[in-house]
Structure 1
Amino acid sequence: MPGPIEARLADLGVTLPDAPAPAANYVPFISAGDIVYVSGQVSMQDGELIRGKLGDGMSVEDGAQAARACALSLLAQVRAACGGDLDRLVRVVKLTGFVNSTGDFTDQPKVINGASDLMVELLGDKGRHARSAVSAASLPMGVAVEIEGIFQVR
């Protein structure tokens, strides 16, 4: 029987991807006591990278969907860090979002809301978090969004 978080995912019609493997010389997460630090997760859906530049042909809505995809990968990493038991998640502590955008694009917070909104929709108050949303001139492999996270677990 799935736990409350997995049941809520099912209610929302959301399936977590497998925890993505690192793309370079780093680990996908580090646990230190009851804190899990998850490396940046790039925008990917159904095994395909979500590429694009906000302010140059990619809409804020598309960027928010890319951020939501990053959030799903973050949760997949948390699930892996918790030995497959996502219900060990106590709260989302902080998200740092990087948006591949032009120099004059200023809606980075609206893009990263795609991840923040999912966390709150899924987890309620324990999904509310501190956050940064910043622009990047480019991101690895041309992805639209990359997000790293800090999570408290039990």
Structure 2
Amino acid sequence: MRRLTLFLISIFCLNSAFSVAAHAAEKRNQLEELLIWKMSDELKLNTTEEKKFSDIVREINKKKAQFNQELQASVEKMSKAATEKAKDEELVTYRKSLQNYGRMSEEEFDKLKPLLGPERMVQYLQIKQDLTNRIKTMLTNPEGSPKEVKPLPSPKLIEEK
């Protein structure tokens, strides 16, 4: 009976952990879709450009998430490593993942610039920087509202014929 109870508690904990992870992934996907929609609207992308843009952004974000998981797993392995040699080997792995993660910004730039062109690429970078600053402000000061933040415009309804 005790084993059954422990087994059921374990299953419940695992299910809860998967549920939390699924919820976080769902929220990340919602934010990603919101970013794609906002950027497409602001950059005035046509449907072909929007499709290419969203594919690039999703691919880059997927790779970033993968490298971020590798970084987290590497830190976890480092903390559990018993010997200095094992820690040093994991530091090498961590550094490689960190370099790969850093290259993602370059890849994003290299893939989006030909699609957007110089004018819209500059606009994209400005919007992205503004959104990043807003998120940082909200994270550092969750109770107070950030100063000098312009409200987002209402979404525009686009009908395709």
Q: Same fold (TM over 0.5)?
A: no
TM range (shorter): under 0.3
Name which structure has the greater RCO, CA cutoff 8 Å, separation 6+: 1
- Greater share of helix: 2
Normalised TM-score (structure 2): 0.27
User: Larger C-alpha radius of gyration, 1 or 2?
Assistant: 2
